[in-house]
Structure 1
């Protein structure tokens, strides 16, 4: 019997961007595999899930531009050379989004992001129509695969909105990008900002409920234990697919992602609920913070890291940008900020002799060196503090102090008597210190509509922190 052929790019279905309305989510032929091979057994589903993460780790997405590259340039972490032959970074630094090179970066992120969404939608459709009994581990497999697919779809939509849409603080009802839930898909008009975020949160809630089966009920240690979360020495009983939960959107990472999305959507009560769930786990010692010694030797702080992307070529890709003879170098802009006070262990994020970031230059192990941090426990404390500061400054200050003490920075202490402006100064300090090289800071500035802080003071972006929709996609 003849089988219909489905084409995969790098073990994934990839979407072409030929026209705005009809072909932007269709299949680009690279090499082919039959549909019966793709979804004929549990191993095939595993491959599709793994392929999604591989695609998200491309340089145009979290492998570079949405981590230590474009987004951190945008946040002015780096002293970007305006004469650099890599023009896109100086253009992003100066908010020159319409310039050719910067527009190319934006277009690549848009295209790659919606390719991920297309494949996630195909995986969701196939998994939902398949009974649990089909899978090797029944409901455990089905729920984990489906939960991760929903989480990926939500996360990718959310970050595309954070790139291309306005924050709700600036324009709550504007229409920027579509939320795509079917495969194949053709016409998808942009929907209102608040409605869009409702769909992100709904998908994340589904994901969290599904992922609870394995990560909370069956085998929590592979997501809660730092040793097991990243490259455990042995596989769990369910096999290799369930190892390395820190490189997958596990239950605990999705819980922080839910808090992040709810905060963006200005749903502070829900954001606090999800953030507090993680805080309570730390209090109960089921999750842990990085210690001073681990920060000194391992600037990626794996104890704190709930989720990060894996990229084989990370070190080789970053090295040219940490070279003071390269005009494309990404030297840290505000050296005194990162090196003081001396009791803040995060000073070790910076190589003071070269002014380059150490998160991607310090050798840990061959495998851990390939991890790109994305979701941290500390973010739960920051989110909780932001949700509470207007009504309970004492608890908000205490939440920030938990992180600071874990980082060795306990004095001067923050207290419930500090002003709102002092709180925002403290929170901005935390985001700047904690997330360097991880692509999160620019979205803090965008969400709060606060000025970008860098060596020369404060830069008023005037709310202009949204990339233009690529011309070829403007009609979507």
Structure 2
């Protein structure tokens, strides 16, 4: 069996076959027709997709502060993370289980979204609440694109170097039939097509309620349809636009990436914040997931996995030599605390958190739109202005980029801004970095960054 070096910190990972993508509880046609014979069934099915995304195997841990952040060198190698760092010829069964879980769970959600989308049009007449059809279908299409994009970013090539590589399949039907891998640029086109459809559906229908009540009393007094509040916890219109900015940048279309990033910023629905009592920076959140019983998970995380033991690693990640310790993202007692075991992340600490921010992991935030604009800027001065818009509210001095330093300054901001959110690994991979801060390997090549295919995909020829 062919074996691959996978990711940065692990190797020889094998996944489930495509027939396991739909490893869901069997349903009869009658049961499906019953579920989707009423509006409530669609709401429940869509909510179920968000709940599955918020599992620890996905965005509640592995695709946020856990697996992806480990691969991005966010923690000390060999300290509290030894189960993640595994090298041939002795791959860890635990590492294999993480990767199998990611693959199967992502496609499981996609399958259920495809089923919802099928019935959304077949039973469109059951929608009686104004805009529910457009909102539910728009969110489902946006989520399908979001999940496929992260699958591509994990299993796919370094896109700018090899856009024709066939690495994943874009699935749009609820079926167990095998589907051959598609060229990555075809997958990107499908992602953009879904996002554009979602954009049309959500325009003028999304209520755009980004509510952040500070007390339980304020929360209980919120008015309106409860299904349509807390839009930062759903695939809202501006999450779709932010995704378009993210995907166009990935595909190398800087003009459209900048266009959509500007649309998000110019909406005035979001705001860069520096409030030390708002460590998740509420009004910057464009899209996030709600995680049930997250306090229990955080308690375990804060005692086992969220440490940086080596001060030199901490100082390099947060560029302390140049920016000092006043940065909101590194400040003692705000974002980190010193303990006998090392520096511990406080981003997800649940004590004294506003009701609207409890149990929240951020998947897209406003600052990324500024970094996209910096990367697309025509001059170093323009790039500096976009970076400094964020740096100012984080409490640090402005930076003055040159044409040679623009990307390195953007990289520093990614390291600081998205700690615990899983995005820095994707940044390194998109640019094909041969190494990075706290990287366990040197002279990385494309195969080091790609997750392996499922074993059966190779055996049965679906990767040809």
When normalised by structure 2's length, the TM-score is 0.85
Q: In structure 1, what is the Cα distance between the partners aligned to 2:286 and 2:16?
A: 38
SS at match of 2:405: helix
Matched, 1:381 2:360: no
Q: Say whether 1:392 aligns with 2:379.
A: yes
Determine whether 1:470 maps to 2:454: yes
1:90 aligns with 2:82: no
Residues 254, 97 of structure 1: alpha-carbon distance in 2 compared, 3 angstrom cutoff? farther
- Corresponding residue SS for 1:402: helix
Aligned equivalents of 1:38 and 1:28: distance in 2?
A: 14
| Other-structure match for 2:345 | 357
CA contact (8 A) 2:239 2:286 kept: yes
Q: Tell me the equivalent position of 1:48.
A: 45
CA shift, 1:233, in A, is 4.3
Q: Write the deviation string for residues 398-420 of structure 1: whole angstroms up to 9, x where unpaired.
A: 111111112112x2x334xx323
Residue 73 (structure 2) pairs with residue 76 (structure 1): yes
Residue deviations 1:92-123 (CA, integer Å, cap 9, x gap):
xx699955332221111000000000001001
Q: Give me the CA root mean square deviation.
A: 2.9
Residues 147 and 210 in structure 1, CA contact (< 8 A), matched pair in contact too: yes
Aligned residue number for residue 312 of structure 1: 292
1:301 Cα deviation (Å)?
1.2
Q: How does 1:7-46 map to 2 (within 5 A)?
A: 20=17, 22=19, 24-25=21-22, 27-29=24-26, 34-46=31-43
> Does 2:134 correspond to 1:130?
no
**Cα distance change of structure 1 residues 358 and 469 upon mapping to structure 2, 3 Å threshold:** same
Instruction: Tell me, yes or no, if structure 1 residue 331 matches structure 2 residue 308.
Output: yes
Instruction: Please list every run of 5 or more consecutive structure 2 residues that lacks an aligned counterpart in the other structure.
Output: 1-14
Deviations 1:229-283 (A, max 9, x none): x99544553x11111111101111111111111111112111111001122224x
Task: Check the 8 A contact 1:384/1:396 in 2, yes or no.
Answer: yes
Q: How far did residue 358 of structure 1 move?
A: 0.6
3-state DSSP class of the match of 1:171? coil
- Is 1:266 paired with 2:263? no
Residue 318 (structure 1) shift: 2.8
- Does the C-alpha gap of structure 1 residues 259 and 456 become closer, same or farther in structure 2, counting only changes over 3 Å? closer
Match for 1:298 among 259, 264, 278? 278
Say whether the 8 Å CA contact 1:80–1:89 is kept in structure 2: no
Match of 1:445 in 2: 428
**Contact 2:72 / 2:424 at 8 angstroms: preserved in 1?**
yes
Other structure's SS at 2:361 match:
strand
User: Is the aligned partner of 1:454 residue 2:454?
Assistant: no
Give the Å deviation of 1:31: 12
Deviation larger for 463-472 or 159-168? 463-472
Residue 374 of structure 1, CA deviation: 0.8
Residue 299 of structure 1: SS of its match in structure 2? Answer: coil
SS in 1 for 2:84: helix
Q: What is the CA distance between 1:213 and its match in structure 2?
A: 2.8
From the superposition, tell whether residues 130 and 103 of structure 1 become closer, same or farther in structure 2 (CA, over 3 Å). same
Q: Secondary structure at the match of 1:421?
A: coil
Q: 1:162 aligns with which of 134, 137, 153?
A: 153
Distance change >3 Å, CA 381–CA 166, structure 1 → 2: same
Uncovered stretches (5+) of structure 1, i.e. residues with no partner: 1-17
2:144, 2:94 → 1: CA distance?
28
Distance in 2, Cα, partners of 1:329 & 1:226: 27
1:116 aligns with 2:139: no
- Give distance in 2, aligned partners of 1:33 and 1:69: 40
The structure showing larger relative contact order (alpha-carbon pairs under 8 Å, at least 6 residues apart) is 2
1:369 aligns with 2:358: yes
SS of corresponding position for 1:453 = coil
**More moved, 110-119 vs 166-175:** 166-175
Label 1:445 to 1:114 Cα distance change in 2 as closer, same or farther (>3 A): same
| Residue aligning to 2:5 | none
Identify if the C-alpha distance between structure 1 residues 20 and 90 changes in structure 2 by more than 3 Å, giving closer, same or farther. closer
Q: When the two structures are aligned, how many residues end up with a matched partner?
A: 432
TM-score computed with the length of structure 1 as normaliser: 0.83
How much has 1:47 moved relative to structure 2?
0.5
Q: Which residue among 307, 328, 331 is the counterpart of 1:345?
A: 328
Q: Is the 8 A contact 1:305 1:376 kept in 2?
A: yes
Cα deviations by residue, 1:137-170 (Å, 9 ceiling, x for unpaired): 23x1000000010011111111011111112123
Compared with structure 1, are the counterparts of its residues 22 and 439 closer, same or farther at alpha carbon in structure 2 (3 Å cutoff)? closer
